[in-house]
Homo-oligomer: A and B are copies of this chain.
Amino acid sequence: HTLNTLNDYKEYFITEMKHPTFAQSVIAEWWATTLFLFFLILSCLPGANDGQEVFRIGIVAGLTIAILVYAFYAVSGGNINPAVSLGLALSGRMTAPRACFYIAAQIVGAITGTAMAKAVSPRAFDLGKGGMNALQTLDVDLESIAITEGQAFFAEVMGSMLLVLAVLFCTDTARSIEHPHMTALIPLEIGFVVLLAHVAMIPIDGCGINPARSIGSAAIYGSLVHLWIFVWGPVVGACFAALIYRLIFAPTEVFNEYFK
């Protein structure tokens, strides 16, 4: 399909949207994000296993994403994260309107899932501040080191960038054909990025790297404190990943073209 004018593009998308798999995909993104937030926020409820939240939340977040990508990859691509949809759209792997529908579905799903997790124990949900992302404090000996807004923003950019970069590599069909691990391990590797980012970043800012997750938690708990960090950090990270992928790491044909 050559899409030269805006009209071509419109027509192309209307056809895409009328296909029954489009509705299926959007519902898939909604339901997958609902499930993700349900289990993630459940693992954030306080009062269980104090002192091991980092591993508990990390394992639940990472493995839930691994399972949901495994299951929904064939339906919608299994994005479950606005940063991922944005990164794919910026890299030309997904149409912009599809990305918009996905992002809306993810945000609604995150709110649904958080509300469902709250239902398991509303009191614990409130005492745990709804699993909201927040700036943390590092306690070293007698000193307390507060993480600043800028520092948390930087960490969010880096974590989201690693995630979106991994997604861009694994969905690059030009590369995955000759490298069998790329397609076989997709869900595991995506889940492992989420796991490691949580283990590394929970002590910094609770680890967002997913605007839908942070919005869902903020909406149900009812607080917008620092939310901008967890929305714009991942957005900047996704843009950065798409940029360096296209300019530097895309397969050689693209690379050659760029240097001509």
Contacts and interface: CB of A to CB of B under 8 A. Distances in A.
Contact of A151 (B46, B54, B120, B166): B120
A214 interface: no
Interface in A125-155: 127-128, 136-141, 143, 145, 147, 151, 154-155
Interface string A64-87: 101100111111000000000000
A187 B182 CA distance: 9
Most chain B CB neighbours (cut-off 10 Å) among A128, A184, A199:
A199
Contacts of A127: 140-141, 143, 145
Given A140-B128, A145-B121, A204-B120, A182 B70 contact: yes
B201 A42 contact: yes
B184 A181 contact: yes
Taken together, the copies of this chain in the complex come to 4
Given A20-B259, A74-B175, 5 more contacts: A47-B137, A59-B196, A67-B196, A73-B179, A124-B145
Interface residues of A, number: 92
26 contacts: A20-B255, A24-B249, A28-B248, A31-B248, A35-B162, A47-B137, A48-B54, A48-B138, A48-B202, A49-B203, A55-B56, A59-B195, A59-B199, A67-B162, A70-B181, A70-B189, A71-B166, A74-B179, A116-B158, A119-B151, A120-B155, A124-B138, A124-B140, A127-B141, A180-B180, A181-B183
A28 B259 contact: no
Interface of A: 20-21, 24, 27-28, 31, 35, 38-39, 42-43, 45-49, 51-52, 54-56, 58-60, 63-64, 66-67, 70-75, 116, 119-121, 123-124, 127-128, 136-141, 143, 145, 147, 151, 154-155, 158, 162, 165-166, 169-170, 175, 178-189, 191-193, 195-197, 199-204, 244, 248-249, 252, 255-256, 259
